[in-house]
């Protein structure tokens, strides 16, 4: 494939950016009284307003042209079909099969994977029903009251984000805690005050070889066995989610209590597989199934809608526009819903681990920018913290603003207060406040420039009716596919993560050097000195 930057479509976008660089959103809105309706799209219950972007119809046409030139339509087909598009690992990418309906057929190496997906979902449902009803008893005969999810990365962030997002729907006499960090503090605090008799550990690890997860799972097992006085307790207090039955058995968890998934599900794309077991325990199989329905609706939309009416495609292309043609380094995701407090952290992994690459699928180094830095916090908290920089700083930070029209916890007019801020922010970012307006307010001359808002800061607004399990499924699939679209344009493999390997290997070498104070150190002078100091300080 021709390098992205050599494509005529890419060159046209460069020229087009130069012609648009001096235009303000104020002018674009003034020129077209219907811009707010024209650059908006409603599909699968989501309203996307993308009018407050530095775009014209020509921009969109050129971006769609670029998508076509990079083969986006064919790549979408290839992913859904189960082609081995994760080329560096020789795997298919079929997280979309995790939410396929029972009667669907998704062939991989000559076999339909959908019956396997539903067999696991059925086992999960059965297990969850037992635990939620109190029928599943701990070693001493007591029902389970707390579930502790032990996992890291994709085996932690997804279930954690989704549990927080759907807490409203959770069974409140069951609490859910998460342990991920190898820092023993994480484990110590997670089991603080828990009664082992009523605690169930869900050990989530695709490979079942991850250092942090196995270390925490060992702590958990020792804690449980010590409290309950018997190794036999493990059988009633531990279940595993993994693709590696052998390692699960080796660890001492009965594979009867294991829920499987497959190597065609990437960690960061996995919380709708058995990795979502703790979430299903919290919200129940029906709500989980509604969530899968939401994912599926977005999958169908992505697979079938024309590119210019396709939500993930539009979000992806608009992101490429700022990343590759306007020099934007980061992208903020700002949910105006407290239940989505971990959503940006989740997206950080989804996006940055997927597209933080610099070698193309054809094995060449990219001569263009790839994945942006993703960050964000819920509104309105962010407004009182970092929005200053978005409004008046020197950096261009495109943002996605997300909100729900109906609160799950209505109290007086507080949801209107939240939403007034939501609308006000994108308005202020787009249109700002001119010097003339500031002077008209009677501001002293010395302060005029300080009080000017240049505006012209681009935003997308994504509006839903209400935060339901289905809405969450749609939202997550929207971003999964947006990341895919961008990965296709940048011609990178969005489904591997070699960049996490080197640190892991070096840590393995350092572990014995910390345990044996006499071990000879042969690192660089900085690392050697830091290890020496650590050895001296540690009591
Ligand atoms: C995600 C990554 C990574 C992975 C963790 C945990 O896409 O692969 O975050 O999820 O390293 O891996 P295990 O599930 O194998 O423990």
pLDDT digits (tens, 9 = 90+) for 243-270: 999 999 999 999 999 999 999 999 999 9
Catalytic annotation, pick one of 164, 212, 290, 353: 353
Query: Among the atoms of ligand 1, which is closest to the Cα of residue 268?
Result: 7
Q: Does 250 qualify as catalytic in the annotation?
A: no
Answer yes or no: is the C-beta of 244 below 6 A from any ligand 1 atom. Answer: no
Query: Among the atoms of ligand 1, which is closest to the Cα of residue 152?
Result: 6
| Alpha-carbon span 489 to 369, nearest angstrom | 11
Shortest-distance Cα residue to atom 2 of ligand 1? 267
| Alpha-carbon span 346 to 472, nearest angstrom | 13
* pLDDT tens digits along 121-148: 999 999 999 999 999 999 999 999 999 9
Shortest-distance Cα residue to atom 1 of ligand 1? 267
Query: Among the atoms of ligand 1, which is closest to the Cα of residue 207?
Result: 15
Answer yes or no: is the C-beta of 497 below 6 A from any ligand 1 atom. Answer: yes
> How far apart are the CA of 152 and the centre of ligand 1, in A?
7
Q: Does 504 qualify as catalytic in the annotation?
A: yes
Burial 502-523 (b: 16+ CB within 10 A, else e): eeeeeeeeeeebeeeeeeeeee
Question: What integer pLDDT is reported at residue 316 of this predicted model?
Answer: 99
SS3 152: coil
Give which of 356, 311, 368 is closest to 487, Cα–Cα.
356
Catalytic annotation, pick one of 34, 435, 504, 529: 504
Task: Tell me how far apart the terminal alpha carbons of the chain are, to the nearest angstrom.
Answer: 58
Answer yes or no: is the C-beta of 158 below 6 A from any ligand 1 atom. Answer: no
Question: What integer pLDDT is reported at residue 539 of this predicted model?
Answer: 77
Q: Which of 88, 95, 150, 152 most suits a substitution to test ligand 1, by most atoms within 8 Å of the C-beta?
A: 152
Shortest-distance Cα residue to atom 9 of ligand 1? 153
Encoded tokens for 356: 């933080």
Answer yes or no: is the C-beta of 242 below 6 A from any ligand 1 atom. Answer: no
Answer yes or no: is the C-beta of 205 below 6 A from any ligand 1 atom. Answer: yes
Query: Among the atoms of ligand 1, which is closest to the Cα of residue 269?
Result: 7
Asked if the bond preceding 24 is cis, omega within 30° of 0, the reply is: no
* pLDDT tens digits along 319-340: 999 999 999 999 999 999 999 9
Answer yes or no: is the C-beta of 268 below 6 A from any ligand 1 atom. Answer: yes
Answer yes or no: is the C-beta of 494 below 6 A from any ligand 1 atom. Answer: no
Question: What integer pLDDT is reported at residue 246 of this predicted model?
Answer: 97
Q: What is the pTM of this model?
A: 0.98
Burial 25-55 (b: 16+ CB within 10 A, else e): beebbeeeeebeeebeeebbebebbbbbbbb
Q: Which of 160, 210, 217, 347 most suits a substitution to test ligand 1, by most atoms within 8 Å of the C-beta?
A: 210
Residues in the chain: 539
Count other Cβ atoms within 10 Å, centred on residue 145.
16
Q: Does 15 qualify as catalytic in the annotation?
A: no
Answer yes or no: is the C-beta of 210 below 6 A from any ligand 1 atom. Answer: yes
Answer yes or no: is the C-beta of 215 below 6 A from any ligand 1 atom. Answer: no
- Where helices occur in 201-252 by DSSP H, the ranges are 211-228, 234-237, 245-251
> How far apart are the CA of 2 and the centre of ligand 1, in A?
33
> How far apart are the CA of 486 and the centre of ligand 1, in A?
22
Shortest-distance Cα residue to atom 16 of ligand 1? 205
| Alpha-carbon span 474 to 365, nearest angstrom | 34
> How far apart are the CA of 77 and the centre of ligand 1, in A?
26
Answer yes or no: is the C-beta of 96 below 6 A from any ligand 1 atom. Answer: no
Per-residue pLDDT of the chain (539 residues; tens, 9 = 90+): 568 999 999 999 999 999 999 999 999 999 999 999 999 999 999 999 999 999 999 999 999 999 999 999 999 999 999 999 999 999 999 999 999 999 999 999 999 999 999 999 999 999 999 999 999 999 999 999 999 999 999 999 999 999 999 999 999 999 999 999 999 999 999 999 999 999 999 999 999 999 999 999 999 999 999 999 999 999 999 999 999 999 999 999 999 999 999 999 999 999 999 999 999 999 999 999 999 999 999 999 999 999 999 999 999 999 999 999 999 999 999 999 999 999 999 999 999 999 999 999 999 999 999 999 999 999 999 999 999 999 999 999 999 999 999 999 999 999 999 999 999 999 999 999 999 999 999 999 999 999 999 999 999 999 999 999 999 999 999 999 999 999 999 999 999 999 998 999 999 999 999 999 999 999 999 999 999 999 999 97
| Alpha-carbon span 334 to 314, nearest angstrom | 18
């Amino acid at each position: 494939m021709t390098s992205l930057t050599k494509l005529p479509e890419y060159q046209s976008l460069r020229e087009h950016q130069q012609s648009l660089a001096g235009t303000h959103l104020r002018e674009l809105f003034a020129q077209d009284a219907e811009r707010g309706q024209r650059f908006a799209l409603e599909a699968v219950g989501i309203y996307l307003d993308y009018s407050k972007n530095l775009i014209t119809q020509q921009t969109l046409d050129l971006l769609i042209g670029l998508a076509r030139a990079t083969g986006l339509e064919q790549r979408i087909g290839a992913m859904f079909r189960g082609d081995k598009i994760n080329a560096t690992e020789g795997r298919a990418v079929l997280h979309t099969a995790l939410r396929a309906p029972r009667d669907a057929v998704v062939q991989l190496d000559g076999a339909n994977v959908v019956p396997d997906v539903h067999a696991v979902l059925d086992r999960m449902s059965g297990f969850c029903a037992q635990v939620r009803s109190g029928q599943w008893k701990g070693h001493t005969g007591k029902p389970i009251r707390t579930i502790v999810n032990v996992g890291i990365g994709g085996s932690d962030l997804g279930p954690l984000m989704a549990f927080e997002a759907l807490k409203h729907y959770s069974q409140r006499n069951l609490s859910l805690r998460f342990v991920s960090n190898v820092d023993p503090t994480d484990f110590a605090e997670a089991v603080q005050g828990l009664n082992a008799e009523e605690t169930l550990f869900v050990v989530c690890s695709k490979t079942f070889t991850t250092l942090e997860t196995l270390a925490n799972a060992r702590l958990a097992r020792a804690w449980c066995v010590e409290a309950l006085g018997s190794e036999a307790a493990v059988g009633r207090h531990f279940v595993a989610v993994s693709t590696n039955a052998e390692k699960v058995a080796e660890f001492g968890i009965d594979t009867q209590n294991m829920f499987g998934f497959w190597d065609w599900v990437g960690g960061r794309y996995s919380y709708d597989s058995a990795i979502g077991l703790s979430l299903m325990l919290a919200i129940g199989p029906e709500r989980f199934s509604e969530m899968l329905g939401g994912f599926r609706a977005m999958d169908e939309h992505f697979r079938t809608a024309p590119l210019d009416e396709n939500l993930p495609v539009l979000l992806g292309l608009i992101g490429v526009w700022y990343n590759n043609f306007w020099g934007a380094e980061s992208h903020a995701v700002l949910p105006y819903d407290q239940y989505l407090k971990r959503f940006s952290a989740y997206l950080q992994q989804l996006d940055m681990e997927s597209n933080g690459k610099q070698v193309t699928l054809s094995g060449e180094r990219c001569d263009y920018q790839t994945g942006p830095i993703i960050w964000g916090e819920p509104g309105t908290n962010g407004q009182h913290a970092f929005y200053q920089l978005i409004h008046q700083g020197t950096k261009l930070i495109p943002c996605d603003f997300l909100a729900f029209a109906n609160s799950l916890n209505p109290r007086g007019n507080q949801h209107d207060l939240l939403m007034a801020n939501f609308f006000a922010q994108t308005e202020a970012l787009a249109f700002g406040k001119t010097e003339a307006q500031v002077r008209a307010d009677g501001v002293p001359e010395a302060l005029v420039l300080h009080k000017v808002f240049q505006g012209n800061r681009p935003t997308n607004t994504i509006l839903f009716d209400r935060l339901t399990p289905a809405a969450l499924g749609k939202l997550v699939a929207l971003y999964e596919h947006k990341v895919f679209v961008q990965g296709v344009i940048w011609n990178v493999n969005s489904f591997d993560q070699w960049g996490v390997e080197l640190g892991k290997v070096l840590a393995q070498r350092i572990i014995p050097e910390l345990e044996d104070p006499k071990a000879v150190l042969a690192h660089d002078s900085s690392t050697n000195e830091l290890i020496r100091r650590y050895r001296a300080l540690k009591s």
